[in-house]
Amino acid sequence: MDVIYDVVSIIDFIDLSSAISLPWRGVRSCPRLHAIFASNHLTYASHREWYVCWYACLWFDCELPLFRPLARPPPTFLAAMKANPFVLITPATRGLSLALTRHFLQTTKLPVFATHRSGSASSVAADILKPLKDVESSRLTLLPLDLTDEGSIAAAADKLGTSLPEGHDSYLHTAFFTGGMLHPEKQPADIDIGALTETFQTNVISHLLLIKHFSRFLPSARTKQADSTETDTDTPKSKWVHVSARVGSIADNKRGGWYSYRASKAALNQVVKTFDVQLQMRGLPAMCIGVHPGTMKTGLSKDFWGSVSEEKLFSPEFAAGRLVEVVGGLEDGQRGRIWDWEGKEVPP
């Protein structure tokens, strides 16, 4: 671990804080150093300083695809870092999000980080754990987070980082981002600027900010994932999942209406594709996908239950189980797209 502090100390000494960015998880949880080069903005006092930063970039998480194959930390360093995959659900206190949180606690042994906007962490945790049997409460960690406040999102990400165990290479195994709201305008005259802004803030902007602040917890190109072996040539990919909706499909829009909801979900689908392209370009063992859970018996869709046949009106628990199964079965060629609860692709 000393070499990590040495590199950071050298960079601090050189005072290149304005030239490089260090969005890493922290030495305590998973010591990774990102040095993002922007050649048109960087100036170095000497070749020595350039090589120090270049080598640090290669060692910990190179952003330059040309050099990434050279980034190989010592075997003793890798051996000392035990894999620690975990799950993130945000938000996690109602409907589908609550069902997803309970599903991962009940069906896996993974640590689960769940976010809540109000209430004390102890009361929220008690509510989540109440119906579950034989689940260790220590596996659940609550993070306060308000989707409308970037400062709150950033603080939650920082708290997650400091909550991860020392001496482990902790990484996101699966993350579900479920934030969404609906204002069902039937005609243009129903469009309200306040409701429109609120819809896009929750359905699109919050998802972008979650990517900004939480994507640092995805595995690096060198992370030895817990479910891989020494002979794996295709390491299982972490799944970064945004809950979208079929109405976000432009090709599938046959009935019109729901202007803000349709537009926001279409925008979210573009976010999913764009972030997945970024993950591929960086060579990270992770994929981003969107999911459509169907119509559920939740407050979001309560006004529309009557228009849905009973066999297509799902409980949050059923939808959660189906989505986890679908997401878990997706392969590399299916990344960057939107999938419904049956495992069928939702057209763009």
* Domain range summary for the chain, segments of one domain joined by +: 2-79, 81-346
Structure tokens that stand for 101 in this block: 């949180």
Which CATH number applies to 81-346? 3.40.50.720
| Full strand arrangement of the beta sheet holding 140-144 | 140-144, 112-116, 82-90, 168-177, 238-243, 286-292, 338-340, 345-346
Round the CA-based radius of gyration of the chain to a whole number and report it: 21
Is residue 31 within 8 A of residue 4, CB to CB? The reply is: yes
Is residue 176 within 8 A of residue 241, CB to CB? The reply is: yes
Q: Three-class SS of residue 345? A: strand
Largest Cα span, the chain: 71
Q: Give pLDDT tens digits along the chain (348 positions).
A: 333 334 434 334 334 333 334 443 333 333 333 333 333 333 333 444 444 554 455 444 544 444 444 444 444 444 456 889 999 999 999 999 999 999 999 999 999 999 999 999 999 999 999 999 999 999 999 999 999 999 999 999 999 999 999 888 999 999 999 999 999 899 999 999 999 999 999 999 999 999 999 999 999 887 766 655 443 434 568 999 999 999 999 999 999 999 999 999 999 999 999 999 999 999 999 999 999 999 888 766 666 656 666 767 789 999 999 999 999 999 999 999 999 999 999 999
Cis-peptide into 91, omega within 30 deg: yes
